[in-house]
Amino acid sequence: MKKCPFCTEEIQDEAVKCRFCGEFLDEASKPKAKWYFTTPVVVIALVCVGPLALSLVWSNRRYKRNTKLVITGLVIAYTILVVALLVYFVVKYLRFLESISELGLR
């Protein structure tokens, strides 16, 4: 018997995972993260599809709750900014077209 380095409970010498705390005792036996939970994929998804990728953030077990809340807040703020800028430039473009038509150039 040996002690678990994480929770100090007695476990068998051959154990690769502690039955009390669930931690893996060696790095080789740790399960690999799914490819879609890796940080680069999450960042690319957030940049490309914005709030639609928040499900990747919230289903990722590596992120703590506070981290998920901060990421969600940032994505929502970024989305609001992008939509506001889009509306602003569309209104500017429509005013530009209106002024062109008033001058008789269109």
Against a cut of 0.85, is the pTM above it?
no
pLDDT value for 71: 94
pLDDT of residue 60: 87
pLDDT at residue 101, rounded to an integer? 92
The answer to whether residues 17 and 24 touch, using CB atoms and an 8 Å cutoff, is yes
User: What is the rounded distance in angstroms from the CA atom of residue 90 to the CA atom of residue 83?
Assistant: 11
Instruction: Give me the average pLDDT of each 10-residue run along the chain (106 residues).
Output: 89 88 75 78 90 91 92 94 97 96 85
